[in-house]
């Protein structure tokens, strides 16, 4: 099995892309450590995963101390360092500029962007990450490199992940740790369905037209993530892989 010797940390694993990625990687033999806020949802994901030895921690990504304790505990208990880290936590934000407040900006950055850096820092502590190197993947968004009205804060937070991945790719290359982003277009998740349900049918049709290959599925993104943590991508770092059904080609 291609990922048999991989120990993968997935943050934001209870739904959407994170959930699909966890299930997909377990099918390839990876051992998973899942983090998200809701314990019941994490239990459901673990139950859907193949293999044994998967664990989870119900933690808010804003709690740096709890993240540090969970990651370090996982390594101490299992005796196995991590070989990959996937950051898939995030929140949507559609707020017109005139209604944007500093509290909202702080909140969206504290979920979408800042924990990715802090968790990477935690993983650099002694014994937490494999001495043979590995892979880190941040789930950004096509909105991280393209604009859209009323999404300034969201675009800022996701664009920050792309810039962060490039800086960390250079800094961690001597340790043979690759850092990349995956930027999806719209895929079917609970979050995206709430967005589609909140707009008119005409707006939904316009959103669909923006994606020449149609709206995607979470599995489409999970496949890209799997590629970036596998040995097949061992000479790839610092990239932003667009998985957007042709959205950015228009």
Return the SS3 of 91.
coil
Tokens of 70: 């969970």
- Closest among 156, 157, 181, 178 to 169, alpha carbons compared: 178
**Rounded Cα–Cα distance for residues 48 and 69 (Å):** 26
- Which residues make Cβ contacts (< 8 Å) with residue 209, sequence separation at least 6? none
Beta pairing partners, 33 = 9, 55
> Which of 56, 87, 154, 247 is flagged as catalytic?
154
Say which residue the tokens 């806020």 belong to.
37
Question: Are 133 and 175 a contacting pair, CB within 8 Å?
Answer: yes
- Which residues make Cβ contacts (< 8 Å) with residue 65, sequence separation at least 6? none
Rama region for 189: left / alpha / beta (φ>0; ψ in -120 to 50; rest): beta
- Structure letter (DSSP) for residue 10: E
Residue 56 is a catalytic residue: no
Return the SS3 of 38.
coil
Rounded (10°) CA dihedral 111, 116, 118, 121: 170
Q: Which residues are catalytic?
A: 154
């Amino acid at each position: 099995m291609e990922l048999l010797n991989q120990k993968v940390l997935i943050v934001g694993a209870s739904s959407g892309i994170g959930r699909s990625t966890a299930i997909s990687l377990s099918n390839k033999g990876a051992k998973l450590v899942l983090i998200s806020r809701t314990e019941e949802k994490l239990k459901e994901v673990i139950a859907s995963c193949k293999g044994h030895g998967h664990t989870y921690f119900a933690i808010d990504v804003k709690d740096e101390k709890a993240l540090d304790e969970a990651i370090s505990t996982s390594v101490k208990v299992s005796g196995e360092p991590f070989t990959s880290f996937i950051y898939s936590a995030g929140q949507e934000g559609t707020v017109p500029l005139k209604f944007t407040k500093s509290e909202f900006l702080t909140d969206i950055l504290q979920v979408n962007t800042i924990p990715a850096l802090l968790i990477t820092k935690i993983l650099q502590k002694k014994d937490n990450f494999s001495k043979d190197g590995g892979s880190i993947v941040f789930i950004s968004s096509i909105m991280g490199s393209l604009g859209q009205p009323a999404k300034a804060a969201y675009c800022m937070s996701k664009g920050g992940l792309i810039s962060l991945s490039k800086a960390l790719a250079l800094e961690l290359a001597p340790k043979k740790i690759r850092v990349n982003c995956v930027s999806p277009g719209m895929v079917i998740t609970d979050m995206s369905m709430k967005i589609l349900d909140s707009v008119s049918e005409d707006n939904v049709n316009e959103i669909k037209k923006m994606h020449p290959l149609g709206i995607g599925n979470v599995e489409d993104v999970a496949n890209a993530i799997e590629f970036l943590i596998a040995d097949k991508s061992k000479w790839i770092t610092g990239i932003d892989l667009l998985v957007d059904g042709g959205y950015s080609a228009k």
